[in-house]
């Protein structure tokens, strides 16, 4: 959510930002907010004047009563009663305006960073840089679930009977590899100075609307029937929610955390759920990184965060590239975002394995996350960022394909061997 002062003072800038995101249907929201904000401030002024008048009259009543002028005091009491009745209606209007303005403001996208490329959708995202040489071996690399099945490592049929499409059982060394990757990612981030955290896996609706747009909420979140609780789609949701309504000591910033959680997503949309694969699924596990920092430091952290993901993948012998998200592919709360994509030697192309985003103060305005410097009364909004470290089993696809050998075995890179009991290779 952006600052309403920006809409008051520079509505054309906000509208141009909307146009660049190809969301022209939202242009009218800016004018609507300006109109409602004007009425709201007029109503608040009217209420403040009445409250000041009531206070003055109340003081008069006290003086008259002390002087024995009871009759005059009673007349003023009648006037105060009328003011109170007026204030009930005015305060009701004030609350209605406030609610309506907030609801509309939450639909207006965050101001994008000036470096974001302009494009309608993800087909116009811009490659930034490649890391590692993408290799296409002379031998054929099977589909990822076929590799897993060759090690008796996955059971999609039983999962389908138990839960439906979009679920899986992982077993044996494939399950162990899955856990090893998460453990390695956890320790990798701890060694970068991040604090490890396991958050709640369910959050309330006021946190959901604080961390994501309504469109994302509808497409992603599973609601717990009969309760004000949602299953998280990523641990970023509950990790940022941890700071809801808090005033942070500037001397303790930045907060740098790496969190583990299972994630649950509807995956609603045209892409659908794969019948045999595990690239897009309803349930998966993820290691995430989150930063809450001073506004002037957020883009420094943004560059550090995505570079950590690149470094981790390269330590596992997986070529990757970074892809700048264009304006039309940028979620409403994000100011700037970069995808990390891993090389698929089977498909001979890159595919998304993570995403790093700077949301500037969009989440903190919604959730009331503020900073105060030592010795000062004034507060200001924090900046929040998030980034995927790894998200198996999608990470497993990249790992298995890039470490697959002609004889059907899979190499275990040296950094991962301590988490795999010293195994150097998976063999059938």
Cα 66 from Cα 71, distance rounded (Å): 12
Q: Domain boundary residue among 71, 105, 139? A: 105
pLDDT of residue 273: 53
| Tens of each residue's pLDDT in the chain, 428 residues | 899 999 999 999 999 999 999 999 999 999 999 999 999 999 999 998 988 888 888 878 777 777 778 778 878 888 888 888 889 999 999 999 999 999 999 999 999 999 999 999 999 999 999 999 999 999 999 999 999 999 999 999 999 999 988 899 999 999 999 999 999 999 999 999 999 999 999 999 999 999 987 777 878 899 999 999 999 999 999 999 999 999 999 999 999 999 999 999 987 554 555 557 888 889 999 999 999 999 999 999 999 999 999 999 999 999 999 999 999 999 999 999 999 999 999 999 999 999 999 999 999 999 999 999 999 999 999 999 999 999 988 899 999 999 999 999 999 999 999 999 999 999 98
- Within a domain: 113: no
Burial 246-263 (b: 16+ CB within 10 A, else e): eebebeebbbbbbbbbeb
- Within a domain: 346: yes
- Within a domain: 97: yes
Q: Domain boundary residue among 105, 130, 149? A: 105
pLDDT of residue 268: 56
- Within a domain: 112: no
Q: Retrieve residue 374's tokens.
A: 């030592």
Question: Is 87 in the same domain as 155?
Answer: no
Q: Retrieve residue 290's tokens.
A: 């989150």
- Within a domain: 126: yes
Question: Is 251 in the same domain as 316?
Answer: yes
Question: Is 138 in the same domain as 37?
Answer: no
Question: Is 25 in the same domain as 130?
Answer: no
Contact of 389 with 189, CB cutoff 8 Å: yes
Cα 115 from Cα 112, distance rounded (Å): 8
Q: How many independent structural domains does the chain possess?
A: 2
Question: Is 254 in the same domain as 399?
Answer: yes
Q: Domain boundary residue among 51, 70, 105? A: 105
pLDDT of residue 73: 80
Residue 342's CATH number: 3.30.930.10
pTM attached to this predicted model: 0.89
Question: Is 163 in the same domain as 91?
Answer: no
- Within a domain: 115: no
Question: Is 173 in the same domain as 80?
Answer: no
Residue 91's CATH number: 1.10.287.40
CA atoms within 13 A on the CB side of 419: 21
Q: What residues have CB less than 8 Å from 118, skipping those under 6 apart?
A: 20, 326, 327, 328
- Within a domain: 219: yes
pLDDT of residue 3: 92
pLDDT of residue 274: 55
Q: Domain of 98?
A: 4-105
Cα 122 from Cα 69, distance rounded (Å): 77
Question: Is 207 in the same domain as 173?
Answer: yes
Q: Which residue reads 């840089």 in tokens?
A: 129
Question: Is 25 in the same domain as 126?
Answer: no
CA atoms within 13 A on the CB side of 427: 4
For 81: left if phi > 0, alpha if psi spans -120 to 50, otherwise beta; the answer is alpha
CA distances from 95 to 39, 41, 325 (A): 12, 12, 38
pLDDT of residue 426: 95
CA neighbor of 382 nearest in space, from 243, 259, 203: 243
pLDDT of residue 30: 97
pLDDT of residue 275: 53
- Within a domain: 110: no
CA neighbor of 343 nearest in space, from 303, 313, 315, 388: 313
Q: Retrieve residue 275's tokens.
A: 């019948």
Question: Is 200 in the same domain as 89?
Answer: no
Question: Is 79 in the same domain as 126?
Answer: no
Question: Is 133 in the same domain as 229?
Answer: yes
pLDDT of residue 419: 97
DSSP run (H or E) holding 255: strand 255-264
């Amino acid at each position: 959510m952006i600052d309403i002062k920006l809409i008051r003072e520079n509505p054309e800038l906000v509208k141009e930002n909307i146009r660049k995101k190809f969301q022209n249907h939202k242009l009218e929201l800016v004018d609507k907010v300006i109109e409602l904000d004007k009425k709201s401030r007029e109503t608040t002024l009217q209420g403040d004047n009445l409250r000041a008048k009531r206070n003055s009259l109340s003081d008069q009543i006290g003086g008259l009563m002390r002087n024995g002028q009871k009759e005059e005091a009673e007349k003023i009491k009648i006037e105060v009663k009328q003011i109170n009745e007026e204030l009930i209606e005015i305060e009701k209007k004030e609350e209605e305006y406030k609610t309506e303005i907030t609801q509309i403001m939450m639909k207006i996208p965050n101001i994008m960073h000036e470096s974001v490329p302009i494009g309608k959708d993800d087909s116009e995202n811009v490659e930034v840089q490649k890391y590692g040489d993408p290799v296409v071996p002379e031998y054929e690399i099977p589909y990822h679930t076929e590799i897993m099945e060759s090690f008796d490592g996955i059971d999609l049929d039983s999962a389908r009977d138990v839960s439906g499409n979009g679920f899986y059982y992982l077993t044996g060394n494939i399950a162990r590899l899955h856990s090893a990757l998460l453990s390695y990612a956890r320790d990798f981030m701890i060694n970068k100075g991040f604090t490890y955290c396991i958050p709640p896996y369910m959050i309330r609706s006021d946190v959901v609307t604080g961390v994501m747009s309504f469109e994302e909420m509808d497409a992603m979140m599973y609601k717990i029937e009969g309760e004000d609780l949602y299953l998280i789609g990523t641990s970023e949701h509950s990790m940022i929610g941890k700071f809801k309504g808090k005033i942070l000591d500037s001397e303790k910033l930045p907060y740098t955390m790496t969190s583990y959680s299972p994630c649950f997503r509807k995956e609603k949309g045209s892409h659908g759920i794969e019948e045999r694969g595990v690239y897009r699924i309803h349930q998966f596990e993820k290691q995430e990184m989150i930063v809450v920092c001073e506004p002037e430091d957020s883009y420094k952290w943004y560059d550090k965060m995505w570079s950590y993901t690149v470094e981790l993948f390269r330590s596992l012998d997986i070529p990757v590239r970074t892809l700048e998200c264009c304006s039309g592919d940028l979620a409403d709360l994000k100011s700037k975002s970069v995808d990390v994509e891993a090389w698929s030697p089977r498909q001979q192309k890159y595919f998304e394995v993570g995403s790093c985003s700077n949301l500037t103060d969009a989440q903190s305005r919604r959730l009331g996350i503020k900073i105060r410097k030592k010795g000062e009364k004034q507060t200001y909004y924090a900046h929040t960022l998030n980034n995927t470290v790894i998200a198996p089993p999608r990470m497993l696809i990249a790992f298995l394909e890039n470490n697959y050998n002609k004889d059907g075995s899979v190499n275990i890179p040296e950094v991962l061997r301590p988490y795999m009991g010293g195994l150097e290779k998976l063999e059938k």
